[in-house]
Amino acid sequence: MNKDLAAAWKKAEESGEKIPIGNIVVCDQCDIDYTSRDDRGGIILGSNAFCPSCTPKMLADVARHREEHYIRARCQRDRVLFRDVARPPAWVFVMIAAVIGVVYIALILLIQMLLQ
């Protein structure tokens, strides 16, 4: 496990505080730290990120179980850094916040309509 992440886990266990993982990128299969590595390739399967080394085995397992629909992203091995795909960009969080805001407003309007 990443040393910084291991230290954060230990601190959280002792203090009960949340872990600010920041930009740490670790493969969910082999636990290798990719935060500063320039390896290319990998996949996002469900909510898990698998590094370029673990991807071939994971793809074979996915095909065997016919779970291709769980693949959310594939890194182009010659173009995309694994850490850039595993770490969501800031715009993802902005879009999530915007969607939550729209749903919240819609619910308020619906409740107001039902109460009238």
Q: Which residues pair with 26 in a beta bridge?
A: 33
- State residue 95's pLDDT score: 58
Alpha helices, DSSP H, located in the chain: 3-15, 55-64, 82-86, 90-115
CA–CA separation, 18 and 92 (whole Å): 21
Q: Which residues pair with 50 in a beta bridge?
A: 43
The model's pTM: 0.62
CA–CA separation, 114 and 101 (whole Å): 20
- State residue 64's pLDDT score: 95
Domain chopping of the chain, boundaries: 3-88
Confidence grade of residue 58 (pLDDT, cut at 50, 70, 90) = very high
**pLDDT exceeds 80 at position 89:** no
User: How confident is the model over 26-34, as a mean pLDDT?
Assistant: 89
